[in-house]
Amino acid sequence: MKKDIKLSTGRIVSHRPYLSNGLPNGATEAFIKYEQDLTLNDVFYSVNYAMTHDEWVEYCNITKAQ
């Protein structure tokens, strides 16, 4: 699995296996990792956000250079 990448905005891009029918298919999903997870009424939620266009361009340039 790819390591987390910190962008110039200070946000962190994390990775997880992309699933097809509940099974990893070899692809990787990249997402902005939220600073903390959320618990509401004793239910745990992992909150993730999408990258902005500029963050996506920066992420692509970083991963292309690796």
Domain boundaries, the chain: 5-53
Question: pLDDT tens for residues 14-42?
Answer: 999 999 999 999 999 898 887 666 677 87
pTM (global) more than 0.75: no
48 confidence band (pLDDT: 50, 70, 90): low
1 confidence band (pLDDT: 50, 70, 90): confident
Please provide the average confidence, as pLDDT, over all residues in the chain. Answer: 86
H or E element at residue 31: strand 23-33
Where b means 16+ CB within 10 Å and e means fewer, 33-59 reads: beeeeeeeeeeeeeeeeebeeebeebb
pLDDT of residue 34: 75
